[in-house]
Each structure stands twice: as C-alpha cells, then as structure tokens.
Structure 1
C-alpha cells in the first residue's frame, strides 16, 4: 500500500463513517469499512488497518453505551459463540485466496443489504432462545473475522426480541467490543502491517472522537430509516466493486 493523499482521505472518511454509525446505532456497520477502503487498497490490507481502529472506536463508544443499555442475558448467550467463531474464521481466512476473500466480502455485503430489505416489514417478536443465540454468536464470529461483517447474524437474533432502540444499540456495541478486541491480534498477524499502514492508523485515530460523538448526537434526532437507506446504497456500490476485483483477479 502506498501512502498517498487519496489513500489518507478515503481511509479517514471510511473510519469517520463507521464511527458515526457506531455512535448512532451501537455497531453492526463495520462492514461498510472494507468495501469503501478497497477503493484505494487491497481489502485484506484494509481489514488489517481497521482491526486495531475498531478497538479504539469501541472503547470510546462505551462512554455513551453504558451498562444500563446492555441486555446482559443475551450477551451471556451470544459471547461464547462469538469467541469460537472468530477462531474458526481465522483458520478459514488462512486457507482462502485474497481474491476469494474479496468475493466473500462483496457477497456478504450484498447479503447484508438483502437482509435489510427483507426486514422492511414488521418483524414478529419471539422469545429468547439459547440455541439460536449460540448459533448467531458463532456465525457472527466467523463473518466478523473474515470480512468485518458480523452484524447480520447478530441482527437476525436481536431484532425479533423487540428490544428498545437503546438496549439494542448498547448490546450490539458491547458484543462487538469483545469481538473486535479478540480478533485484532489475529488480523495483525495475517496482514503484518507496514510502516505506512501504522502511520495511516495513527492518522485515522483522529476521526474516532468526532465521528462517535456526532453519531451519538444524531441518535435521537435523525430518522434511522433514512440513514440506513444511504448506507445500504453505498454498500451496494462498493460491494459491486469488490466482486468485480475478486472475480477479475481470479480469472487473470
């Protein structure tokens, strides 16, 4: 990766956008990072850049998403599967070609968008289920390790529970705080960041306080559906680029 002005601007913008989503909704939008950053760098390098930054974002966001916003019974069921899923995802990552990873990331992103469109109708409430929670945590661990995209499996479990917006966001925030802290070291081992990448990480740190704070202020005043539409529209475009890069790379 070459440290250019374009690389710095795109990376800073991507980190800032993730932070806004984390401040506004607690988490689950990390998937937007790698497709956006893949405009200026390899998606695996983008994953290595974001992994330590996610930890910093989560720690800063916890000043807003306090323990009173956590659904502790659900977290007790979800977190063991998350940890095991990250370990399995690490092994899967080492076996996949980088172009294949780009395809997985792009396809996962489009699936994420499709899930949101399907959820446009009202979701019927259902009771808490330990097997479903464990399965959701495991699936989220695998996808968050492979593509920083653990939001969909978690959302499929939490949304039907009928949690309030604050409890949903707070639970999601702590879930990914644990997940991102767990996967940071494996990602750094896989990517082995260069000096330029460490410098870019340091620059992007400055996007975190303002991004999370802005998201928190927007949490109560903006219509959540409008923000979702804009984000998912961006995801479709960036996912298409990832799929093109991956498929064309495998064919050459």
Structure 2
C-alpha cells in the first residue's frame, strides 16, 4: 500500500464515518465505512489497520456509554458466545468461504428487516432468550472476525427486546468493546501491518474524538422510534454491502 494524500484522505474519511456510527448507535455498523477503505487497500490490510483503531474508538466511546446504559442480563448471555465465535472465526479464517458467509448473512438480515417492515415499522417486543442470545453472540463473533460485520446478528437479538435507545446503544458498545479487544491481536497476526499502515493508523487516531462526539450528538437528538428506524435502515445498508461483497467475489 502506497502512503499518499489520496490514501490518507480516503482512509481518514472511512475511519471518521465508523467513529460517527459508534457515537450515534454504539457500534455494530462499522461495515458502513469499510467501502471507503476498500478503495485504497485490500480487505486484509484494512482489517489490520482497523483492529487497533476499533479498540481506541470503543474505549473513547465508553465516556458516553456508561455502565448505566448496559443491559447486564443480556451481556452475560451474549459475551461468552462472542468469545467462542471470535475463536472459531480466527481458526477458520483462511478456510471459510467469506463470500458465502456474506451472502447468507445478507439474506437473513434482509428477511429480518422485511418482517419489521411488514409489521408497519413497529417493534414486536419479545422476551429474553438464553439460546438466542448465545447463538447471536457466537454468530456475531464469527462474522466480526471474518468480515467486521458482527452488527446484524447482535441487532437481530437486541432490537426485538425493545430496550431504551441508550440501553440499546450502550449494550452494543460494550459488546463490541469486548469483541474488538479480543480480536485485535489475532487480526494483527493475520494482517502483519507494515510501516505505512502503522503511520496511517496514527494519522487516523485524530478522527476518533470528533467522530464519536458528533455521533453522540446525533444520538441525543433522536427519539426512541427514530433511533430504531435508523438501526433498521442501517441493517439494510449493511446487508446490501455484504450481498455485494459476496456476489461480486464469485463473479471476479
């Protein structure tokens, strides 16, 4: 990867967008900013670049998503599955068909959003389920390790619980803080960043405070319904990105 003005500006914009999404929604939608990075680097290099930056973003975000915004009963069920999923994703990273995983995840996500749309945009509140939580955590762990797309499985578990907007975002934030701390070392081992990537990483650190802070301001302005509607809309964007990645991978 050549470190030039275009690479720096495009990568900085992508990282800023990811930070903004973390500030506004707590995490899970990093894939929205990844298309920008794909313009100037390959996916593995992007993964190695983002892994440490995710940790810094998440730790900075905890100044907004305090313990009072965490749903502890859900995190107790979700996090063990997340840890196992990241381990599975790391072990199978080089043999898993990333394209097939992307297509399946996209299809499931679109069905989930489609059912919400058919209900008129209303959230059908459902009780907490231990098996669903563990499955969501594990699936999220695998997909976040393989494609930085752990958001949809987690959202499909949390959104139907009808949590308050701050609790939803705070729970999501802590979940991915744990996940990103765990997967940082495996990703660095897989990607082995070179000097240019470390330099670019240092530059992108400057995007974190402003990006997260501006995202938080948006979150504060959204009411409960707007927050949930935005999350479902972002799930569609995420699903379409995954679908494109999967299908185009088979066509090339």
TM-score of the superposition, structure 2-length normalised? Answer: 0.87
Choose 238-247 or 62-71, whichever is displaced more.
Answer: 238-247
Tell me: CA distance 1:228–1:152, structure 2 relative to 1, closer, same or farther (3 Å): closer
Alignment match, 1:49: 49
Tell me: CA distance 1:185–1:41, structure 2 relative to 1, closer, same or farther (3 Å): same
Tell me: CA distance 1:209–1:140, structure 2 relative to 1, closer, same or farther (3 Å): same
Alignment match, 2:187: 187
In the alignment, structure 1 residue 80 sits paired with structure 2 residue 80: yes
What displacement does 1:105 show?
A: 4.5
Structure 1 residue runs of 5 or longer lacking an equivalent are none
What displacement does 1:112 show?
A: 4.3
Could you report, residue by residue, the CA deviation over 1:98-146 in whole angstroms, capped at 9, with x for unpaired residues? xx53664576457546644543332311111111111111111101100
What displacement does 1:238 show?
A: 5.2
Check the 8 A contact 2:113/2:236 in 1, yes or no. no
Tell me: CA distance 1:137–1:246, structure 2 relative to 1, closer, same or farther (3 Å): same
What displacement does 1:236 show?
A: 7.0
**Counterpart-to-counterpart distance in 1, 2:211 and 2:148:** 19
Choose 37-46 or 204-213, whichever is displaced more.
Answer: 37-46
Say which SS state the counterpart of residue 93 (structure 1) adopts. coil
What displacement does 1:56 show?
A: 0.3
**Counterpart-to-counterpart distance in 2, 1:2 and 1:109:** 32
Say which SS state the counterpart of residue 181 (structure 1) adopts. helix
In the alignment, structure 1 residue 37 sits paired with structure 2 residue 37: yes
Structure 2 residue runs of 5 or longer lacking an equivalent are none
Aligned match of 2:249 in 246, 249, 252? 246
In the alignment, structure 1 residue 119 sits paired with structure 2 residue 116: yes
Alignment match, 2:149: 149
RMSD value, Cα? 2.4
What displacement does 1:35 show?
A: 2.8
Matched residue count? 246
Could you report, residue by residue, the CA deviation over 1:30-54 in whole angstroms, capped at 9, with x for unpaired residues? 1223333112211121111111110
**Counterpart-to-counterpart distance in 1, 2:8 and 2:94:** 28
Kindly report which structure 2 residues correspond to 1:172-183, keeping only aligned pairs within 5 A, or say none. Answer: 172-183=172-183
Kindly report which structure 2 residues correspond to 1:1-252, keeping only aligned pairs within 5 A, or say none. Answer: 1-96=1-96, 101=98, 104-105=101-102, 108=105, 112=109, 115-120=112-117, 121-222=121-222, 223-224=226-227, 235=238, 239=242, 242-243=245-246, 246-249=249-252
TM-score of the superposition, structure 1-length normalised? Answer: 0.87
Tell me: CA distance 1:227–1:203, structure 2 relative to 1, closer, same or farther (3 Å): farther
Could you report, residue by residue, the CA deviation over 1:191-226 in whole angstroms, capped at 9, with x for unpaired residues? 000111111111111000000000111112255478
